[in-house]
Chain A
Amino acid sequence: MNHDYQKDMAGCGLTGLISRKRRRVSGSHIAKSLCLMTDRGNGLGAGYAAYGIYPEFKDFYAFHIMYDEPSVRRTVEEVLKASYHVEKIEEIPTSPVRAIPISPLLVRYFVEPLKEKLVGDVEESDFVVSTVMRVNSEIEGAYIFSSGKNMGAFKGVGNPSDIAEFFRMEEYEGYLWTAHTRFPTNTPGWWGGAHPFTLLDWSIVHNGEISSYGINKRYLEMYGYKLTLLTDTEVAAYLLDLLIRRHGLSIPVACAALASPFWKNIDRMDDGERDALTALRLTYGSALLNGPFSLLFGHSNGLVGINDRIKLRPLVAAVKDDVTYMASEESAIRAICPSPEKVWAPRAGDPVIVGLED
Chain B
Amino acid sequence: MVKIDAKGTYYRDLNRKVREAVEKGEKEIVLENVNGQYYIGDGLRGNVSITIEGVPGNDLAAFMDGPTVRIKSNAQDNIGNTMNSGKVVIEGHAGDVLGYGMRGGKLHIRGNVGYRVGIHMKGDKKQGPTIIVGGTAGDFFGEYMAGGLLVLLGLDGDGPIVGDYLGTGMHGGTIFVRGEVDKEMCGAEVGVMEPDEDDLKVLREALSDYCADLGLKLEDVMSKGFKKLVPVSARPYGNLYAY
Q: A-side interface residues toward B, CB under 8 Å?
A: 3, 36-37, 39, 265, 268, 310-311, 314, 316, 329-332, 334-335, 343, 345, 347-348
Given known contacts A36-B36, A37-B36, A345-B93, A314 and B139 CB-to-CB distance under 8 angstroms: no
Q: Does A343 contact B74, Cβ atoms closer than 8 Å?
A: yes
Least Cβ distance of A238 to chain B in Å?
29
Q: Does A311 contact B138, Cβ atoms closer than 8 Å?
A: yes
| A3 contacts across to B, CB distance below 8 A | 43
Q: Does A310 contact B139, Cβ atoms closer than 8 Å?
A: yes
Q: Does A311 contact B115, Cβ atoms closer than 8 Å?
A: yes
Judge if B96 is at the interface, Cβ distance under 8 Å. Answer: yes
Given known contacts A310-B139, A311-B139, A331-B57, A345 and B35 CB-to-CB distance under 8 angstroms: no
A36 to B140: give the CA distance in the assembly, Å: 29
- Known contacts A310-B139, A343-B93, A345-B112; 9 additional CB pairs below 8 A are A311-B114, A311-B139, A329-B76, A331-B55, A334-B54, A335-B36, A343-B74, A345-B114, A348-B139
Least Cβ distance of A278 to chain B in Å?
19
| A37 contacts across to B, CB distance below 8 A | 36
Chain A interface mostly helix, strand, loop or mixed?
loop
A331 touches which of B36, B139, B163 (Cβ 8 Å): B36
A273 to B202: give the CA distance in the assembly, Å: 44
B35 touches which of A36, A314, A343, A348 (Cβ 8 Å): A36
Q: Mark B54-65, 1 if CB is under 8 A from A, else 0.
A: 111110000000
| B184 contacts across to A, CB distance below 8 A | 268
A207 to B76: give the CA distance in the assembly, Å: 17
Q: Does B36 contact A311, Cβ atoms closer than 8 Å?
A: no
Chain B interface mostly helix, strand, loop or mixed?
loop
| B139 contacts across to A, CB distance below 8 A | 310-311, 348
A3 to B44: give the CA distance in the assembly, Å: 11
For residue A310, which residue of chain B has the nearest CB? B139
Least Cβ distance of B163 to chain A in Å?
8
A356 to B93: give the CA distance in the assembly, Å: 29
A39 to B12: give the CA distance in the assembly, Å: 11
| A268 contacts across to B, CB distance below 8 A | 184
Least Cβ distance of A247 to chain B in Å?
30
Q: Does A314 contact B55, Cβ atoms closer than 8 Å?
A: no
| A39 contacts across to B, CB distance below 8 A | 11, 38
Given known contacts A335-B35, A335-B36, A330 and B138 CB-to-CB distance under 8 angstroms: no
A268 to B35: give the CA distance in the assembly, Å: 42
Given known contacts A37-B36, A314-B96, A334-B35, A329 and B138 CB-to-CB distance under 8 angstroms: no
Within 8 A of A (CB), among B31-81: 35-36, 38, 43, 54-58, 74, 76-77
Question: Which of A37, A314, A343, A345 lies at the interface centre, i.e. has the most chain B CB atoms within 10 A of its CB?
Answer: A345
Question: Which of B58, B95, B140 lies at the interface centre, i.e. has the most chain A CB atoms within 10 A of its CB?
Answer: B58
A347 to B55: give the CA distance in the assembly, Å: 21
For residue A335, which residue of chain B has the nearest CB? B35
A311 touches which of B38, B57, B76, B96 (Cβ 8 Å): B96
| A316 contacts across to B, CB distance below 8 A | 95
| B96 contacts across to A, CB distance below 8 A | 311, 314, 345
